[in-house]
Amino acid sequence: MIRGHADFLESIEARNARVVVDPGKVRVQVAPRPREKVTLPAVFPERARLDNVTVIVRDPAHDFIAENLSLDLSPRVPGALRVTLLQLPTGEAWRDVTGTTSYDNRNLVLRDVILNEQTRFSLINADASRIGST
């Protein structure tokens, strides 16, 4: 239902949620046939607001964890990113991650993302505005 439709969702709002995904419990999908087009899930709403959301993706080595995630993506006004704990499957982890956001036409721009005093990103861009066009 959501594959190939970037405009599937208009708005996502979640507060005080805990989401745990365990890929080990998901059935294995068969690889696409050579001529079959591979598409990404289209979860790029027009607007999103997450407040105190924890996302955990289980992994045998280290889980991916975004704890107490707060993120505001609005096409009209700049927003903010805050994460109490961000842990990657590689085992690297950062506390009190912050940044600013802009989100126009499904083009996500994160600015001044601070992982710690030594690790900062001035710009991260994920443009989903053309998903679904061929």
Residue 12 token pair: 């996502």
Q: Which residues contact 105 (CB under 8 A, 6 or more apart)?
A: 75, 129
In which element (H, E) is residue 39 found?
A: none
Does position 43 have pLDDT exceeding 90, yes or no? no
SS3 97: strand
pLDDT tens figures, 78-110:
999 999 999 998 989 999 999 999 998 888 999
Q: Looking at residue 40, what is its pLDDT?
A: 45
57: nearest Cα among 24, 92, 83, 98:
24
95: nearest Cα among 72, 71, 70, 66:
66
Domain boundaries, the chain: 11-23+43-127
Q: Tell me the CA distances in angstroms from 56 to 4, 25, 50, 85, 96, one per residue in order.
A: 25, 14, 15, 11, 17
pTM: 0.74
pLDDT band at 37 (very low <50, low <70, confident <90, very high): low
Give 89 or 134, the one with higher predicted confidence.
Answer: 89
pLDDT band at 53 (very low <50, low <70, confident <90, very high): very high
Residue that the structure tokens 């679904």 belong to: 132
Rounded average pLDDT over 46-67: 92
Q: Looking at residue 121, what is its pLDDT?
A: 96
Rounded average pLDDT over 37-47: 62
